Amino acid sequence: MHLNWNWAGSIVLLAFCLLAAPAFATDLRVTDVGNSVVLLHEVFVDYGAFTNDRETEGIRVQQGEAVVVAMWTNIETLTITGKDESGTAPRLKVELVPRSGAKISATLVSKGRMKLSGKTDLGEYSIDLEKVRIIAPVHTNGQPVRRQ
């Protein structure tokens, strides 16, 4: 049987990309409202209530009427500054400092559990986003630290 290399090579490349992508994640330094600081690996934000809805590459924010996934690789710091009680559902106000550009004010998308989860050197870690004060992706040499 003779395989067409273009077809076989495409399948191998696609499989590699699909399997390798989730293995890399940005580490985050998380400060809670009690000023405890942890280094978090294999991070995800859990938005699910009754379904599996996880964001692994960033955090969902609302800018005006739009929802944006603010990617960890583009963020220097994210600070939760308070609650916006003006709407029907209270939202957490955030100030994002991107790696380039000016500060951005937004609110976190309010959906489901809203827990920041991952692993620390001690084990599994999970915290409600309303108990977080600062999230800072860990960067070295201008690039985010990514673990395999």
CB-based burial of residue 12 (10 Å sphere; 0-12 exposed, 13-18 middle, 19+ buried)?
exposed
Angstrom distance (rounded) from CA 130 to CA 148: 29
In a domain, 134, yes or no: yes
In a domain, 3, yes or no: no
Q: Which band of pLDDT confidence, cut at 50, 70 and 90, is reported for residue 24?
A: low
In a domain, 44, yes or no: yes
Contacts of 10 (CB under 8 A, 6+ apart): none
Mean pLDDT of the chain: 82
Q: Which residue range(s) make up the domain with 87?
A: 24-147
Distance of CA 25 to the CA centre of its chain: 9
In a domain, 8, yes or no: no
- What total of structural domains would you count in the chain? 1
Instruction: Calculate what percentage of the chain has a pLDDT beyond 70.
Output: 77
Q: Which band of pLDDT confidence, cut at 50, 70 and 90, is reported for residue 66?
A: very high
Tokens of 41: 């690996």
Residue of 55, 13, 56, 31 lying closest to 146 (CA atoms): 56
In a domain, 110, yes or no: yes
